[in-house]
Structure 1
């Protein structure tokens, strides 16, 4: 016995330190994973490097197989530099981060522009005020003389646009056209809903792939630009670290160090201070007598009677088959069983309050008599509860 206890204590200590080490390791891995999320490349909607359903990597690979050079730009500076080399078609996705002047400068530097996800502002600036006219998911023929669309066949256009005053208007559906455009050569601007046509999950349908190749592959070079926050006047919100005073980080590190030191100091001993648990068994009669002495010393006859009433109510509920009924319902059921005054039974079980020990003894006697009377009505063959 004396050798097993220290060995058990050492085992608990080793397991506790192992648990602490495992917790620290898991926390470190979690922090590293969270930090890594911020460094992952964008792989979202119409991203030319995304292989997911909403990306456009499939179209980019098809273009490259046909000898078309595709440059991916993720900021305005890179896009302008790539367009500055000349002869490149600009494929631009969500333009929300860009200012009006930025968008016009990009379009003027390109040898043709394709708006992959046109917004109302884009249509106003580059297409003379065309507007969105709803969404269509039906197979639609080109029905126009624009070569890039005419040879591509039918598509499911998705969002359609009005074409008032525009030279290019293909895929008529609903109240608009699935492809609209203006100008020719380097000044040509085309707008279509590429989220329904040129993403990976829809590219193999109908004439979608052919339309993408014809629109983007004509110049032999494409600059695929994904605008980011900071490319225009719209900037990202400051981080929490930028908003907090410089002394906050050292204070947090000091606090964490203090917590670790306190944990090591207080955790130097694991397990109970004694080798064996020593349970103490107390007889029920001793517990009852001790509680009674406490009530007597405190001169609290009401509390003592409450304990007696609680036990009587529990026995009466079981005797009358009431289950989890409340005290009032049990008192009413007992009065009905005895065919006696309901107020009298409620006084015995609930309402009467003793002021001294004599009244407490009398109340206890009435409880016992009431319980015995109910018992006789339920089980007449027995005379005692």
Structure 2
């Protein structure tokens, strides 16, 4: 037997080719696969049926005389787990977790890990007693009425429960039944004895698609009263209608037709007349000067925000006039009466006309 197992394991790893599958996959030739133990079981007359979904496993277990080997299936609810395993005569849990152990082995749970060494069976369970020793890997703590084998520091490497001729066995197959670990110590004898208890072994590979609704966490919709969702939808519709009703409607830009177009200089003169009516000659002249300086800036090509002194310098230079005289007209003269205001406005107009004539003459000469 030992020679046969070693030969099959070597042939599987070398000539079987490596297929990219999960650990403990019965068709995987990788180190963590279990193709070797499947081949040995088939040579011993055991028919191995590989089921890659729950429905296929249930069909293969019809009749209740087959054994079921399966990895942990967290996607199944407790009831679904009991339903699937309840169809088999013998159940072998290859990678047990605490929830599965609690459901199927009466409150058992996982524990620590054993050192990488052979552990004595030290129990009367036939499959374990025949193997004598094995490398058990993950350890477990048995629940009420559950027997344990391969003890290590108060925990065990194999759990076994029997009721009405039906058995449930749990062991760490990663340490016992993979292509890499099967030839070690008594691993082969243990794995073959546990998996070969009936003529048919259904090897169930759980799929995420096997999940049933009972295993899912409740959704927000399931936790809220049935009227909440329609109420939220009605509020959203009301908000949308309100937005369409009260929201601004943007369209193409249009030019508004004004009844009268008022020139900028007329606005300035009108403001000056208001100052004159209020007998505020200095402010009225300031408005006229501000408008005149703005026009002179454009005539002389000065920046829009030029200081008054810059405008004075530019006008004096262009006309060849006395700078102090130009400054008095554009900035310094302070009228006291309406007569002074009229005289200052005339001087301002004459200065602007002189600059315009000088600019026009210079442009014609060039």
- Structure 1 length-normalised TM: 0.49
| 1:54-97 Cα distance to aligned partner (Å, 9 max, x none) | 10000000000100000000000000000014311000013122
- For structure 2, the 5+ residue unaligned runs are 1-17, 217-366
| 1:105-144 Cα distance to aligned partner (Å, 9 max, x none) | 1111001101000011101100111111200023110000
Q: What is the SS of the residue equivalent to 2:56?
A: helix
Q: What is the SS of the residue equivalent to 1:215?
A: helix
Q: What is the SS of the residue equivalent to 1:202?
A: coil
How far did residue 174 of structure 1 move? 2.2
In the superposition, relative to structure 1, how do residues 185 and 88 fare at CA in structure 2: closer, same or farther (>3 Å)? farther
Find the structure with the greater CA-based Rg.
Answer: 2
Give the corresponding residue for 2:36.
58
Q: Structure 1 residue 171 and structure 2 residue 150: aligned?
A: yes
| 1:142-200 Cα distance to aligned partner (Å, 9 max, x none) | 00011111011201110111124234211001230000121146521111111111111
2: CA distance, partners of 1:95 / 1:148: 25
Q: Structure 1 residue 115 and structure 2 residue 93: aligned?
A: yes
- For structure 1, the 5+ residue unaligned runs are 1-39, 237-385
Map 1:56-135 to 2 at 5 A: 56-135=34-113
In the superposition, relative to structure 1, how do residues 135 and 96 fare at CA in structure 2: closer, same or farther (>3 Å)? same
Is residue 95–residue 119 contact of structure 1 (8 Å, CA) maintained in 2?
no
1: CA distance, partners of 2:184 / 2:164: 28
Is residue 157–residue 178 contact of structure 1 (8 Å, CA) maintained in 2?
yes
How far did residue 209 of structure 1 move? 0.8
- Structure 2 length-normalised TM: 0.51
Q: Structure 1 residue 159 and structure 2 residue 122: aligned?
A: no
Is residue 109–residue 143 contact of structure 2 (8 Å, CA) maintained in 1?
no
1: CA distance, partners of 2:181 / 2:126: 22
2: CA distance, partners of 1:186 / 1:47: 28
CA RMSD of aligned residues (A): 2.0
Is residue 107–residue 144 contact of structure 2 (8 Å, CA) maintained in 1?
no
Give the corresponding residue for 1:210.
189
In the superposition, relative to structure 1, how do residues 179 and 107 fare at CA in structure 2: closer, same or farther (>3 Å)? same
Q: Structure 1 residue 224 and structure 2 residue 203: aligned?
A: yes
Could you tell which deviates more after superposition, 227-236 or 83-92? 227-236
Between the two proteins, the alignment pairs up a number of residues equal to 197
| 1:288-333 Cα distance to aligned partner (Å, 9 max, x none) | xxxxxxxxxxxxxxxxxxxxxxxxxxxxxxxxxxxxxxxxxxxxxx
Q: What is the SS of the residue equivalent to 2:59?
A: helix
2: CA distance, partners of 1:75 / 1:63: 22
Q: What is the SS of the residue equivalent to 2:193?
A: helix
